[in-house]
Amino acid sequence: MAGVVSHPLDNVLRHIERMCEGDPGFQFGLSGLTSFSPEQVLGLVSDASGFIPATGATDGAFRVEAERILDACGAAGDRLAEACRRGERMILATGHPVGLILLYSELAMELRRRGAEILRPLEGEPWNEDGEPRTIEYLDGVAMYTDGERPMHTHSGAPMARMLLEDHPDLVLADHGFAGTAIEQGVETIAVADVNDPALLVAKEQGRTETVIVMDDNVRPEAYWPCFQEIAARLP
């Protein structure tokens, strides 16, 4: 399988720098990330993606080896199979609903059929954020951050922090701040991380989480079908 183009290299490098500088929007609810240098973080991203940019390069396409994506999906599937067999309580949540919601919702339905309990904490309960209405709504058991009318893209860990005040799952499957905050609070988490959002990979390097699927998190929803197949094939 050929490498999958994900983001421009300059975009990946810029996001790495912002995370290392402590930009809150790139911490994903995690602490202790700024002790890593941009060079170290680029190395982590390269190891996970299988793509090593030329020394000093700042432009061109950053790629992810499809085999590495599927290997990580297989590891996620093995852990999710355990969750089904044990009847574990799970939260599924996405801060990037446009791309990932179909993958997550299909997995949520399969997990529920196979014995996992899918939780729905904070569903429909409104709060205000900087004077704006916010809620957590669910589609097929998958949590999304909304303005009360439509799902929103978010890096914030605050929604997951509110959810974990209401319920404490055995396992989380999530991305962005939903995943980062769960990791920060010691909840076992399977994370999806874009190559230009390295916080979750740094948390893995710190030994705080085990399975991180590194791929582009905002392509056409149907493009994640091979990921679904690889995960679902491991379920009991």
Q: What is the pLDDT of residues 42-79, one digit of tens each?
A: 999 999 999 999 888 888 888 899 999 999 999 999 99
Q: Taking the mean position of all CA atoms in its chain, how far away is CA 36?
A: 20
pLDDT, tens digit (0-9, with 9 covering 90-100), for 181-204: 999 999 999 999 999 999 999 999
State residue 5's pLDDT score: 60
pTM of the entire structure?
A: 0.95
State residue 1's pLDDT score: 36
Sign of CA dihedral 167, 168, 171, 177: positive
Strand-pair partners of 190: 173, 211
- Among candidates 176, 5, 212, which has minimal Cα distance to 96? 176
State residue 125's pLDDT score: 96
Answer whether residue 166 shows pLDDT above 70.
yes
When the candidates are 3.40.50, 2.40.30, 3.20.20, 3.60.21, the CATH number that belongs to 67-232 is 3.40.50
State residue 61's pLDDT score: 87
Whether the CB-CB separation of 123 and 138 falls below 8 Å is answered with yes
- Among candidates 167, 197, 196, 172, which has minimal Cα distance to 184? 172
Answer whether residue 2 shows pLDDT above 60.
no
In one letter, which amino acid is 7?
H
- What are the boundaries of each domain within the chain? 3-65, 67-232
Q: Are strands 89-94 and 142-146 parallel, antiparallel or unpaired?
A: parallel
Instruction: Give the rounded percent of residues in the chain with a pLDDT score beyond 70.
Output: 98
Q: Please tell me the distance from the alpha carbon of residue 28 to that of residue 34, in angstroms, as a whole number.
A: 13
Tokens, residue 61:
């396409």
Instruction: Give the rounded percent of residues in the chain with a pLDDT score beyond 90.
Output: 89
pLDDT band for position 137 (50/70/90)?
Answer: very high
